[in-house]
Amino acid sequence: YLAKENRTGVEFYVPGKDRNSPERLSLLGDLRRAIDAGELELHYQPKVNLADGRVEGMEALVRWSHPERGPISPADFVPLAEQSYLMRELTHIVLRRALDQAARWWRDGLEVPVSVNVSARDLLDTGLPEQLEAGLAELGLPARAIQLEVTERILMTEQAFTAETIGTLARLGVELALDDFGTGYSSLVRLQRLPVSEVKIDRSFIRRIAESREDERIVRSIVDLVRSLGLRSVAEGVESHEIAVRLRKLGCQAGQGWWLAEPMAADEATVWLRARLSSAFLDRPRDGARL
């Protein structure tokens, strides 16, 4: 079941001990079935401009409801899949669903980019840009309809292995966002070399910016750095009005979080999008602090 040693030197941290424990193997088996049975679903969480409340995109987040165990967090099963051949299939299915959803929204005039999370290992797969390019063409979508999010760990991998895929994506015009920024040991040189257009600041820094001067300083310097590189900054985990106001003052462009909007099933997300893109919302004079 489990993949052989990775040739890239990419190490994935997985909670728990033994990669081959019966429990993990049985969960992987269940995931395999869930993928085949079409049990995985996508929810969508808006990304919102902190100055005027406009929606900048929708992030697709995979959901799995296990028949016996109930909902299992992607934070638990994605790292497991990452160690096996299942990751490729998981990404394939998620991308297909996200493309279909984007096509539905764009057909209805709800033209926002849909972001898909991919693992660093997915970028070793040159089939990924091919799937994307074919999917976009088939559905008549422009490249800006899809964005990919990859965790900061990509900066620590051997770039030679991923450069080809990333280069192809860039030529396609598909934007790349760097997810969970601040949690790894990024080299700034590498950040500058990667064709990313957006940096998502990890929520561990955002959570306490309203109380902690130090956390606020860290976020401020990340936002400044990101701006100086000509990139957009997005804050994760905006859980309160106060946090949104602080971020806006720091010049952070966009945010995601429960206070702004929670992840929603497709139907609910469609209703939300329609309201947010309606003239009733867009024409109203807006106090950015209240969004």
Q: Which residues in this chain contact ligand C2E in the complex, by CB under 6 A?
A: 45, 61-62, 73-75, 78, 94, 117-119, 149, 179-180, 203, 236-239, 256-258, 263
Cβ 151 to ligand C2E shortest distance, Å: 6
Position 180 contacts Mg ion (CB under 5 A): yes
Residue 202 identity (one-letter amino acid) = D
CB under 5 A: which stretch of 14-22, 135-143, 146-154, 221-229 binds Mg ion?
Answer: 146-154
Select 73 or 126, whichever has its Cβ closest to ligand C2E.
73
Q: Are 199 and 177 in contact (CB under 8 A)?
A: yes
Q: Name the residue nearer to ligand C2E (CB basis): 1 or 258.
A: 258
Q: Which long-range contacts (CB under 8 A, 24 or more apart) does 105-111 make?
A: 105/58, 105/270, 105/273, 106/141, 106/145, 108/270, 109/277, 110/270, 110/273, 110/274, 110/277, 111/145
Q: How many CA atoms are closer than 13 Å to the CA of 5, on its beta-carbon side?
A: 2
- List the single partner that 61 binds among ligand C2E, Mg ion, none, CB under 5 to 8 Å by kind: ligand C2E
- Binding site partner of 233, from Mg ion, ligand C2E, none, Cβ cut-off 5-8 A by kind: none
Q: List CB contacts of 137: < 8 A, sequence separation 6 or more.
A: none
Read off the tokens for 92: 């394939």
Asked if residue 149 binds Mg ion (CB under 5 A), the reply is: yes
85 binds, among ligand C2E, Mg ion, none (CB under 5 to 8 A by kind): none
Residue 100's binding partner out of ligand C2E, Mg ion, none, with CB under 5 to 8 Å set by partner kind: none
157 makes contact, choosing from Mg ion, ligand C2E, none, with CB < 5 to 8 Å by partner type, with none
Closest CB to ligand C2E among residues 35, 110: 35
Q: Three-state SS across 104-164?
A: HHHHCCCCCCEEEEECHHHHHCCHHHHHHHHHHHHHCCCHHHEEEEEEHHHHHCCHHHHHH
Q: 135 or 263: whose CB is closer to Mg ion?
A: 263
Taking CB positions, which residue lies at the least distance from ligand C2E?
A: 257
The footprint of Mg ion (CB under 5 A) covers 117, 149, 179-180, 200, 236
